[in-house]
Amino acid sequence: MSPPAQPGVPGGRGSKVPPARKLLCMCSLSLCLTYLCYSLMGGTGPGALRSPAALPGTAAPGAPRSPAALPGTAAPAAPRSPASPPRSSSGAPAPSAAPTRASNGSREGAAGAWPRTPLAPGEVITAQSGAFERDPQESSTTDEELSRAGSPGSRGGGGGSTTPDYGEKRLPQALIIGVKKGGTRALLEAIRAHPDVRAVGTEPHFFDRNYEKGLEWYRNVMPKTLDGQITMEKTPSYFVTNEAPRRIHSMAKDTKLIVVVRNPVTRAISDYTQTLSKKPEIPTFEVLAFKNRTLGLIDASWSAIRIGIYALHLENWLQYFPLSQILFVSGERLITDPAGEMAKVQDFLGLKRIVTEKHFYFNKTKGFPCLKKPEDSSAPRCLGKSKGRTHPKIDPDVIHRLRKFYKPFNVMFYQMTGQDFQWEQEESDK
């Protein structure tokens, strides 16, 4: 069932099917026909191959599907009224077993080593929230930290090294909702340099993991602010959490949303690199990325691949928020032109442009900008050692196949947002 129509919200009841959905449907049909041919070539029995985007739980051929559904993707749960009781999460069980080494690089070993799920896009992330996603920068929030931040009288996070013990705790007016390994930490640290922004340093994960704790708990996690200051937080998993848009809309329908996006191929490799640094026994990237390497069937149920299908996730957000309330920041330009991207962010938030090129210093060793205070000569402050990791060497053929897989979804994303991130041009220049 479609969500109730919202004024100015695309996708409400009674509105026409957006062109993006028609394009998704056409892309789905094209992929289905292509891999039907592959299946006929390889047999039609139980062992017949499936589409690279086909996830477990695919509807039988001919079964009615949502126009926006990807081939084999489970249809999103029908949105409920914003007044419905809060739930603890999107409902997907977290993985209970630690990853194991794949024997001889087999798919069976790989399946036990990384979250794969037949569930809807948001439920994928709930399954990811176990041992694989513990990054000191991107997802380091522990229950103990949030308990301290949300306790009565706590000061919460803040925009600087200390948080003043005055002002009022407010629910956030702006959220950085994604994407993981896109550059969200860099953006958060840069915007916290603005005197009119107060932001939580940790990731509250309220709208995906802690929703049952209630808005008062969420408010207590926030830093104290004065009139005219903006309260913010960032949790990258919100963008791919199915129930996050409805829950955020229920809190405040005028919330401003920021999404940092990055070339999905590079993002997937970075995601894998992060996990590899903590779990060196996991299978190779090539083993995890394919259902069948010979035919080039990409495994879109692997979270590292699925997160990068931005058009799929954005469609969920457009059910509740207009594009005018969502800012898309280029993760690449956040490195090459941080001041330019921060100017867009400050304009979007209605802030004076205070964070400028004077606040950045490019660290050649790390390969990305570091923050500095323009009024003094203290050393620049760079992100931690978990940022700027060296990526493992990936077979060029694997990179080529991933680019071909993502290209139609990238084009769809460009059309939906009205922005061309030029990821294909970037790849052709290499």
Query: What's the angle, vertex CA 82, arms to CA 79 and CA 85, rounded to 5?
Result: 95
Mean pLDDT of 290-302: 93
What type of residue is 419?
Q
pLDDT band at 258 (very low <50, low <70, confident <90, very high): very high
Give the whole-number percent of the chain exceeding pLDDT 70.
Answer: 57
Query: Within 10 A of 351 (CB to CB), how many other CB atoms are there?
Result: 18
Most confident region among 39-53, 124-138, 381-395 by mean pLDDT:
381-395
Rounded distance between C-alpha atoms, residue 132 and residue 55, angstroms: 20
Q: Which two tokens stand for residue 352?
A: 């004076």
Decide if 67 contacts 16 (C-beta within 8 A).
Answer: no
Residue with tokens 């996830």: 55
pLDDT band at 386 (very low <50, low <70, confident <90, very high): low
The neighbouring-strand residues paired with 302 are 116
Cβ partners under 8 Å of residue 422, min gap 6:
none
Q: What is the pTM of this model?
A: 0.68
Number of residues assigned to the chain? 430
pLDDT in tens, 72-124: 333 333 333 333 444 443 343 333 333 333 333 444 444 444 445 443 333 33
- In 166-277, beta strands by DSSP E: 168-169, 174-178, 197-199, 224-225, 230-234, 256-261
Q: Which long-range contacts (CB under 8 A, 24 or more apart) does 219-222 make?
A: 219/169, 219/170, 219/171, 220/149, 220/150, 220/151, 220/152, 220/154, 220/156, 220/169, 221/146, 221/149, 221/150, 221/156, 221/157, 222/156, 222/157, 222/169, 222/170, 222/171, 222/172, 222/198
Q: Given this model, what pLDDT does residue 326 score?
A: 98
pLDDT in tens, 351-384: 999 999 999 988 777 677 888 876 665 655 676 5
Q: Given this model, what pLDDT does residue 33 score?
A: 56
Decide if 285 contacts 269 (C-beta within 8 A).
Answer: yes
